[in-house]
Structure 1
Amino acid sequence: MRRLSLALLALALLISGCRAAATPPSTAATGGARTPVRIAMGYIPDVQFAPFYVAQARGYYQAAGLEVTIDHSDVRDALVQVGQGRLTFANAAGDEILQARAQGIPIKLVFQTFQQLPVAIFAKQSAGIKTPADLRGKTVGVPGRFGATYIGLLAVLYAAQVPADQVNIVEIGFTQAAAVREDKVDAAVGYFNNEPLLLQAEGIPVDVLPVSEYISLVSNGIIAADTLIETQPDLVRRFVSATARGLQETIADPEAAFRDALRFIPELPAERQAFELNKLKQTTALWQSAVTQQHGLGYSDPAAWETTYRFLRESGLLQAQVEVTSAFTNDLRP
């Protein structure tokens, strides 16, 4: 899932000249009219968004009085737009939210879809990379020094106390699977429900080091503006509740959910559908954790927020202090 550029967010905020004088969507009108809602996903149509597709396809948003647009366009300043009330919701992760709040963008997480960061370091088994310590002296490919993959790599090195300067980090664009396959790098960072599966499907044995096994970072979920939460909490609850139902049903029956998702991924070729269905099945594990068994789907763990914040601050990735508890709420879940 492509991450939104915080540098561009900051620039957009400066250009806008205001913090967040939002005019949120009106509440659902009587007489059957629905409230328009738009959520920016930050990535092209993909099975990782199946819970949203299921909620849309099965009429859960409509039943909640919402006319939902799932926006897959390249909205580079989505977090700014959410903070200003020009966009209802967006899909973002904890590190993005903390950095946005540090820049004065008043947003918070209201439903954490992914309980585990889907990023992983992967390598051919012949490379002998079994633990983060084995990365010392190795060449590790990342798409660039930005986004979830780069943050994930730095987080694993931080947790394992491996200095980043002891690893040769190289930018390879979005060619991680090919770079590992062709031995251009010793390892690469991608999504463990994607690139490693591609290589395994080709018969290439790989070792996978999921970021979530070494450090608990807050992953992606639904964000909303502070103003919207304060003035229209019922609208947020209705959207979150419908999405939660879509999430629950996707976990319960990923094959049926995949059939619904196909309506929203028209470019997906028939020959790739079996791989994508398997990817969805692998992804269902990322939406669940010991925390959700106790608190329910969508719960955001305060301890994970503290870990994310401490990592960002101690790594120099977050320059300003942020009140961590202001970055999320669990009060709007069903």
Structure 2
Amino acid sequence: MLNRRIFTTLMAGVVTLVPLGLAGAATAQELTRVTFVQPSPSAINSFNVFVAIGEGYFEEEGLEVRVESINGSGPVLQALSSGQAQFGRPGPGPVLAARGRDVDVVFIYNFAARSNFGIVVPEDSAIQSPAELKGEVVGTGTADGAEVGFARNVLSGSGLKEGTDYRFLTVGDGGPAVAAFEQDAIAAYSSSTADAAILNQRGQAVRDITPPEYARFFGNGFITTGELIRSNPELVEKFVRAIHKGHEFALDDANREKVLEHMASGNPQESEDPAFASALFDAVRSKTIPVDDSKGLGYQPPEVWEEWQQVLIDGGDLTGPLPDLTAAYTNDFALKVNGSAN
């Protein structure tokens, strides 16, 4: 049974960083071990990580990466702030909300460069636009995931206010989301690209009613802590270089079969239906291609960060602008590894 929110247990305590060995080919004993946490067990949603593992890009950088899956962006941020992981892939909204609580996390690579969320309704629903959700219940996979902030933004843009014109209901994903539609518990669902594909696979045909202008609101990307950037920027650069190589490799259709193999190795259950996995990969991959590619892969448009901050202020997740919004993200590593800084 395919479900993108399967729990795995994070390793106890703080991960030990093993120093690199001297010059020469790195052996297993010489690799620096780091942990990457993703907000769901989907290998397809983190395809560049699994390609970087399978193609040996992390090893080339002297890194051994352990992947852990947890439930949503909130726990990803908790894992980093508690020292249980060095890298994660949450949404921008939860990152800004965490910064508002003085959690020192920093966005370092924009992976879902186009919004990887949308508000979907049943295929046969009479609802054609977000404005028509007035008085309705909108389902979400988690209570504090990136999909919540995205949906709040879209609905606010349609003149609707949470708690007055609509309300959210956390229903989970996969089977529970299908059941919520069947029981008329929700009229719409804020879904990721993967969520929508899974709903369709399970017989709940849905269509996206999100206005196209929201595509610029990039989704989940890679983060680390400000402390790690200050204390070991070389390590951060190595990680970003490897995921960038994995990203580039996966965008080349000549490598398609290898990419699908790497993702199947990362999550065999997700790829039990090869045709579905291939279609889902196409959908997810398309969201990682920048709207404006002049700055290369991984670049974060500062103006969209400004818009994301306003979304959180309007939604009450931030009481006001952050003291320094630019401290929440850096393009330094992405621009360096993708060649745009040269």
Moved more, 70-79 or 128-137: 70-79
Change in Cα spacing, 1:255 to 1:277, as seen in structure 2 (3 Å) is: same
Q: Deviations over 1:272-317 (max 9, x none)?
A: 23212211111111101223x1111111110111001011012211
**Partner amino acid, structure 2, of 1:199:** N
Q: Are positions 1:214 and 2:211 aligned together?
A: no
| Cα RMSD, aligned residues only | 2.9
CA contact (8 A) 2:113 2:287 kept: yes
- Per mean C-alpha deviation after superposition, the further-off stretch among 181-190 and 100-109 is 181-190
Which range is displaced more, 35-44 or 144-153? 144-153
1:67 CA displacement: 1.3
> Which residue of structure 1 aligns with residue 10 of structure 2?
none
Gap change, CA 1:69 and 1:244, over 3 Å in 2: same
Alignment of 1:70 with 2:72, yes or no, is no
Aligned partners of 1:84 and 1:225 also within 8 Å:
no
Q: Match of 2:144?
A: 146
Aligned length: 314
For the residues of structure 2 that align with 1:88 and 1:316, how far apart are their CA atoms?
Answer: 29
SS in 1 for 2:172: coil
Calculate the TM-score normalised by the size of structure 2: 0.81
Q: Compute the TM-score of the two structures, normalised by the length of structure 1.
A: 0.83
Aligned residues of 2:43 and 2:50 also touching (Cα < 8 A): no
Identity among equivalent pairs (%): 23
The letter for the 1-side match of 2:165 is: Q
Unaligned runs of 5+ in 2: 6-12, 338-342
- Specify the alignment match of 1:188 in structure 2: 189
Task: Evaluate the alpha carbon distance shift between residue 177 and residue 79 of structure 1 in structure 2; reply closer, same or farther with a 3 A threshold.
Answer: same
Stretches (4+) displaced over 6 A: none
In the alignment, which residue of structure 2 is the partner of 1:298? 298
Amino acid at match of 1:119: F
The aligned residue for residue 229 of structure 1 is 229
- Tell me how far apart the structure 2 counterparts of residues 178 and 95 of structure 1 sit (CA, whole Å): 28
Aligned residue for 2:54? 57
Q: Go from structure 1 to structure 2 and tell me whether the alpha carbon gap of 1:321 and 1:27 turns closer, same or farther (over 3 Å shift).
A: farther
How far 1:223 sits from its partner (Å)?
1.0
Separation of aligned partners in 1, 2:309 and 2:325: 7
- Find the aligned partners of 1:278 and 1:201 in 2 and give their Cα distance: 15
Distance 1:145 1:238, change over 3 A: closer
Q: Which residue does 1:286 correspond to in 2?
A: 287
Task: Give deviations 1:23-65, integer Å, cap 9, x for gaps.
Answer: 9835522152221121111322431112111100111110111
SS in 2 for 1:332: helix
How far apart are residue 200 of structure 1 and its match?
6.9
Equivalent AA in structure 1 for residue 290 of structure 2: S
The residue identity in structure 1 corresponding to 2:232 is: Q
Which whole-Å deviations, capped at 9, do the CAs of 1:71-99 have from their partners, x for residues lacking one?
A: 22569754345346552212212112212
The structure-2 alpha-carbon separation of the partners of 1:212 and 1:289, relative to structure 1 and needing over 3 Å to count, comes to farther
Q: Determine the structure 1 residue equivalent to 2:178.
A: 177
Alignment of 1:124-139 (within 5 A): 124-139=122-137
CA apart distance, 1:258: 1.2
Letter in 1 for 2:36: I
Q: Distance in 1 between matches of 2:195 and 2:142?
A: 18
Indicate how the Cα distance of structure 1 residues 102 and 170 shifts in structure 2: closer, same or farther if over 3 A, else same. closer
For the residue of structure 1 that corresponds to 2:46, the secondary structure is helix
CA contact (8 A) 1:153 1:211 kept: no
Change (3 A) 1:82 1:24: farther
